Amino acid sequence: MEINVIKKIITLLEESNLKKIHLRDGDFEISLEKDHLEHKEVHVKRHPRPKEQELERHIEDAKDCIISPMVGTFYVSSAPDQPPFVKVGDTVNENTVVCVIEAMKVMNEIKAGRKGVIKEVLLENTQAVEFETKLFVIE
């Protein structure tokens, strides 16, 4: 990986609210983490609404979730005028593209990684995701 790309990744981490970035590209792997002492953490506790509680229980009880392998922006389709890659009830296999995550202006196709049925889409289109964010519930 070129040094200017690494510098951009460092700048992205420094200028964002992210605490950690982990990137793997072929044989190259980089992990960056902010010193937690430099930043004050604010924890806001709110009581979830009944529908949110039901969704949280559903997610916890789900057999599997497809998770984000990177930090970026979640897209349900390849373009605004295109249908979503998958919807609730769709059967997928290991190689089915389920979404795209844009990271540093690169569109990365995310595959299901397993066979199953999409039970829930957990994010809104264009929502920011972090490493290991749950994207879909799959059974």
Per-residue pLDDT of the chain (139 residues; tens, 9 = 90+): 677 777 787 777 777 777 787 777 777 677 777 765 444 443 444 555 665 656 565 555 445 899 999 999 999 999 989 999 999 999 999 999 999 999 998 999 999 999 999 999 999 999 999 988 999 999 8
Q: How many domains does the chain have?
A: 2
Q: Is there a single domain that holds both residue 107 and residue 133?
A: yes
Quick check: is 81 in a domain? yes
This model's pTM is above 0.75: no
Position 21 scores a pLDDT of: 77
Quick check: is 52 in a domain? no
CATH of the domain at 118: 2.40.50.100
Quick check: is 36 in a domain? yes
* Alpha helices for 83-127 (secondary structure H): none
Q: Is there a single domain that holds both residue 85 and residue 38?
A: no
Q: Is there a single domain that holds both residue 19 and residue 86?
A: no
Please give the Cα distance from 120 to 137 (Å, whole number): 5
Q: Is there a single domain that holds both residue 74 and residue 23?
A: no
First to last CA, the chain: 37
Amino acid at 131: F
Q: Is there a single domain that holds both residue 40 and residue 81?
A: no
Please give the Cα distance from 8 to 1 (Å, whole number): 12
Q: Is there a single domain that holds both residue 12 and residue 76?
A: no
Please give the Cα distance from 103 to 86 (Å, whole number): 21
Position 47 scores a pLDDT of: 55
Q: Is there a single domain that holds both residue 40 and residue 82?
A: no
Residue 44 and residue 121 in contact, taking contact as beta carbons nearer than 8 Å: no
Question: Domain range spanning residue 116?
Answer: 63-138
Quick check: is 72 in a domain? yes
Of 14, 113, 33, 16, nearest in space to 68 by CA: 113
